[in-house]
Amino acid sequence: MITTALTDLWYGFGVALEPHNLMWCFVGVLVGNMVGVLPGMGPLATISILLPLTFGMKPVAAILMLAGVMYGAQYGGAICSILLNLPCHPPHAVTCLDGFPMTKQGRGGVALGLTVFASFIGASWGITEMIFLSPLLVKAALQFGPAEVCSLMLLGLLAGSTLARGSPLKGVAMTLIGLFLGSVGTDLETGSERFTFGLTELDDGIELIALALGLFGIAEFMSSVNQVAPINTRYTNVSFKDMRPTKADLKRAFFPMWRGTIVGSLCSLIPGTGPTIASFVAYAAEKKISKTPEKFGTGLIEGVVCPEAATHSSVQGDFIPTMSLGIPGDAVMALLLGALMIQGIVPGPQLISQHADIFWGLVASFWIGNILLVLLNVPLIGIWVKMLAIPYKYLYPSAMFFVCIGVYAANNDFFQVGEVVAIGAFGYVLLRLGFHPAPILLGFVLGPRFEENFRRAMLIARGDFSVFVTRPISAVFVGMCVLLIGVQVWVRIRGEKVPKIGAEPPSESPPISPQMAPQRIPATPAE
Amino acid sequence: MANAIVAKRNAGKYLNTNGPEDGREEIVQPSTSLLRDLVRKKDFYAGGLMLLIGIGIALKGSTYRLGTPMHMGPGFFPTMLGVLLVLVGIAIAAPAAMPSAAGAEHDESILPEQPQWWAWFCILMSPVLFILFGRYFGMIPGTFACVFIAALGDRGATWISTIVLSTVVTIFGVVLFSYFLQVPMPILTWGGGL
């Protein structure tokens, strides 16, 4: 089995190293890294803005580039957290705790250097996992009938909405809205139009790009406009020389790095627990086993590398269910899957065999991209830091243009630009009411396939709902769903009885909202 | 609800996210009137909105053919979603609607502290102008209008900075999208043949 995996990987490197693909991987990584540094632009907004550019590309190049954008933005986010105390992207929130104190002590460069290294280790581990686990999962998944697929999707949706950020109930509500939005348009089985209100433009359903850009573009701009504090760039002079860690630093960081990696990869195996949870769990665990837990928060290198390694290993691990089962764990993965679907590729267990070039090319490009990032980050960090100074008042109007033209270019249709306005306004209302719109995307992307499998399962079972619990594999998934809900309810009740405990894992408690809130956060540690 | 308490505490612990709001809570004393209680409850509106949307979906969904569980019609799945959304909406709103409840930490106004009506208007108008100008006059006027109105929303915007920004983005955008990416939209037109 190992030999097949290695042969496939070799083939993947062949695909990823084709000049065309390599170029787009490089572009993706570079742009992702750049935009990831820009305050207020998370990977979701970046990927959705760049999505229209990939329509003209071949599927392999498109997915390579978008994936590159995603992990490029991850690296960029760490820079923001460490140098500015701004968690541009939720997983990096915890990196601020020790990263920024290090910066204030003049050791920000070392923190950055080791972060790059830790991220690489974490990512490499995640990729290795992907190489060996995905084929196994596929083998199991090929045995699944509609009932199993359906309950597995249910598990994915539930986990994605309840374990993410904020109130689990609100997450479920968002997923339901997403599923509903996914059902707008022509019903595939009967051909009747649903929720189109007579608008022929809606026959093909709501455009994924309009939805993503409305929710993560316009709604975010509305919540950030005029709220963005000027950035303190006092500590951002980092030179290449500063980034080289001393031997003692390396030694101290070595084991935390690996521990973070392991925690991250474990987290990625649990559906729905994305990088944010992984980084928090890793930080908490590291603090627990440390001999000097009281020093965490004052600028310990362990507190930087451990969560960063966890984030990256979990992000790579998240690709496993996305690519092998076609079930994304979070909104970023849903968006990537959506991009594949736009290219006409059907996600699911057959993807690896039918589109081996995409899967193995992607795996190989992860490595190439991560090496590129390490190489890029070192000399370019100075430039990225300068980009931090771009004021928001120039940033968001320009981004508005990219939103408009991007949505237009999806179908060369102005109607969808109108869609984006409506979705954006609705998304902002949701944000104000305390919802986090990310699960909408998850529900939207999975919705049509969920409905299709649901209907098919019911048809095969002759309308008997018990099919989901009488088939053993499906029963296991349903059982996990019940367990998931049970734990949530239990945490809630226990929390209400003894509110003083407060020891719930950080997964329950978003340290920051997923929007570009960071900038509205006053730089906490007293200067 | 307890989640929210914990969330808030942890949020404070980690990053002090809700600094200003924490302060405000003490000022806003729990009022005696039930109505005034309701008005401030974010969750009440959140749940209420979900409830309404759910009812809407369920009603509209049930006008399509429902079918039987074995042969589901197009209306079955959406109606199911609508009903579920109604239930979830009630579950969200119910705790907040309780008159007493430990709802102090839910005492959040729906509007942000400094509502940005003008900026919101500008941002939402930006794609609208893009549609109008883009359709009738082409990509250059569309882009310019889109960036121009969006930029006006910022408090620090001046006429000069707005015009300069719009011009720069227009030039860059037209070169990138029209020449390199070949987006089929006329650069400059009159009256709109689209």
Q: What is the mean pLDDT of residues A489-501?
A: 62
Cross-chain CB nearest to A400 (options B2, B114, B147) = B147
Instruction: Indicate whether B14 and B78 sit together in one domain.
Output: yes
Most B CBs within 10 Å, among A398, A428, A459, to test the B interface: A398
Does the pLDDT value for residue A164 go beyond 80? no
Closest CA to A37 of A29, A27, A26: A29
Distance (Å) from the alpha carbon of B111 to chain A's nearest alpha carbon? 7
A433/B42 touch (CB, cutoff 8 Å), yes or no:
yes
Percent of chain A with pLDDT over 90: 6
pLDDT band at A271 (very low <50, low <70, confident <90, very high): low
- The range of the structural domain enclosing residue B50 comes to 2-106
Does the pLDDT value for residue B85 go beyond 90? yes
Does the pLDDT value for residue A295 go beyond 70? yes
End-to-end CA distance of chain B: 52
Q: What is the mean pLDDT of residues A353-374?
A: 87
Instruction: Indicate whether B84 and B141 sit together in one domain.
Output: no
Cross-chain CB nearest to B127 (options A93, A223, A404) = A404
The answer to whether residue B159 is domain-embedded is: yes
Does the pLDDT value for residue A229 go beyond 80? no
B156/A393 touch (CB, cutoff 8 Å), yes or no:
yes
Three-class secondary structure assignment of chain B? CHHHHHHHHHHHHHCCCCHHHHHHHHHCCCCCCHHHHHHCCHHHHHHHHHHHHHHHHHHHHCCCCCECCCCECCCHHHHHHHHHHHHHHHHHHHHHHCCCCCHHHHCCCCCCCCCCHHHHHHHHHHHHHHHHHHHHHCHHHHHHHHHHHHHHCCCCCCHHHHHHHHHHHHHHHHHHHHHHCCCCCCCCCCCCCC
User: Considering only A181-185, A314-318, A320-324, B99-103, which range has the smallest mean pLDDT?
Assistant: B99-103
pLDDT band at B84 (very low <50, low <70, confident <90, very high): very high
Instruction: Indicate whether B121 and B102 sit together in one domain.
Output: no
Q: Which tokens go with A345?
A: 């590729």
The answer to whether residue B185 is domain-embedded is: no
pLDDT confidence of residue A114 = 86
Residue where one domain finishes, among candidates B106, B128, B158: B106
Three-class secondary structure assignment of A358-383? HHHHHHHHHHHHHHHHHHHHHHHHHH
Please state whether A379 falls in left (phi above 0), alpha (psi between -120 and 50) or beta. Answer: alpha
The answer to whether residue B191 is domain-embedded is: no
A510/B7 touch (CB, cutoff 8 Å), yes or no:
yes
Show residues of chain B in contact with A87, CB under 8 Å: 15
pLDDT confidence of residue A329 = 78
Show residues of chain B in contact with A526, CB under 8 Å: none
- Pair A69, A50: CB distance under 8 Å: yes
A502: buried, middle or exposed (CB in 10 Å: 19+, 13-18, 0-12)? middle
A397/B6 touch (CB, cutoff 8 Å), yes or no:
no
A429/B49 touch (CB, cutoff 8 Å), yes or no:
yes
The answer to whether residue B186 is domain-embedded is: no
Does the pLDDT value for residue A261 go beyond 60? yes
B147/A432 touch (CB, cutoff 8 Å), yes or no:
no
Cross-chain CB nearest to B123 (options A168, A221, A401) = A221
Instruction: Indicate whether B85 and B26 sit together in one domain.
Output: yes
A176/B88 touch (CB, cutoff 8 Å), yes or no:
yes
- Three-state DSSP class for A193? strand
Q: What is the mean pLDDT of residues A359-376?
A: 87
Q: What is the mean pLDDT of residues A239-254?
A: 77
Cross-chain CB nearest to A495 (options B6, B81, B151) = B6
Residue where one domain finishes, among candidates B87, B106, B125: B106
Instruction: Indicate whether B133 and B66 sit together in one domain.
Output: no
Most A CBs within 10 Å, among B15, B160, B176, to test the A interface: B15
Instruction: Indicate whether B45 and B15 sit together in one domain.
Output: yes
d(Cα B59, Cα B64) in Å, to the nearest integer?
9
Q: Which tokens go with B189?
A: 């037109």
Rounded to the nearest integer, the mean pLDDT of chain A is: 81
Q: What is the mean pLDDT of residues A39-54?
A: 79
Most B CBs within 10 Å, among A88, A408, A491, to test the B interface: A408
Instruction: Indicate whether B85 and B6 sit together in one domain.
Output: yes
pLDDT in tens, A471-484: 888 898 899 889 88
- Pair A158, B88: CB distance under 8 Å: no
End-to-end CA distance of chain A: 56
Distance (Å) from the alpha carbon of A474 to chain B's nearest alpha carbon? 19
Instruction: Indicate whether B11 and B90 sit together in one domain.
Output: yes
Show residues of chain B in contact with A391, CB under 8 Å: 156
Closest CA to B185 of A409, A416, A398: A409
pLDDT confidence of residue B38 = 55
pLDDT in tens, A142-160: 888 888 888 888 988 888 8
pLDDT confidence of residue B14 = 40
Instruction: Indicate whether B18 and B94 sit together in one domain.
Output: yes
The answer to whether residue B121 is domain-embedded is: yes
Crossing angle between the packed helical segments A93-104 and A108-141, to the nearest 10 degrees: 160
Show residues of chain A in contact with B81, CB under 8 Å: 176, 179-180, 183
pLDDT confidence of residue B56 = 93
Instruction: Indicate whether B96 and B158 sit together in one domain.
Output: no
B49/A433 touch (CB, cutoff 8 Å), yes or no:
yes
What's the total number of domains in chain B?
2
Distance (Å) from the alpha carbon of A250 to chain B's nearest alpha carbon? 27
B70/A459 touch (CB, cutoff 8 Å), yes or no:
yes
Show residues of chain B in contact with A170, CB under 8 Å: 46, 92
The answer to whether residue B43 is domain-embedded is: yes
Residue where one domain finishes, among candidates B76, B106, B136: B106
pLDDT confidence of residue B55 = 93
